[in-house]
Amino acid sequence: TPDRTATPVSARYETLVASGAIERDPAQKALLARLDSLAVRLNEKRLARKSSALGWLFGRRPAATEPVKGLYVWGSVGRGKTMLMDLFYDSLSVRRRRRAHFHAFMAGMIHRAVIHGRMVHPLMVHARMLICALIRTCRKRQCGNRRHE
């Protein structure tokens, strides 16, 4: 089981550097402070909620707060994005969470939107366009054949 204590991402990174498991990378180092800040904001937001099972019913409504804005991490293949995200994920004390690669996350979002009827699956759009094009082509050929009969 992962360590779910709120150890900063940068501390976990430095542990890996000190053990010789990885080499320090300036681009990764620049991202660590932002990941630490995001982890703190997410962990604090979680702590601000009511802890009892009926807290939502009896507690005062919290003031509307701005949602925590995340980070979009991008870079070349092999630069350590996945490793940093794993360190970040393990640094969160939030219990209800899910780790997903961007492509799997987007595929899941589309799947849920299609299931709930909020959108048509993108492949269905392309399939309909292809079918319509085939029907138009077939109609043109049939009309052309009738003219020559």
Residues near 104 by Cβ (< 8 Å), separated by ≥ 6?
Answer: none
User: Mutual orientation of helices 9-19 and 26-48 as an angle, nearest 10°?
Assistant: 140
Tens of pLDDT along 51-95?
556 655 555 555 556 788 888 888 889 999 999 999 998 888 877
Q: Phi-psi bin for 57: left (phi > 0), alpha (psi -120 to 50), beta?
A: alpha
Cα–Cα dist 87/34, whole Å:
13
Residues near 94 by Cβ (< 8 Å), separated by ≥ 6?
Answer: 42, 43, 46
Tens of pLDDT along 108-140?
887 888 777 777 777 777 777 888 888 887 777
32: number of Cβ within 10 Å? 19
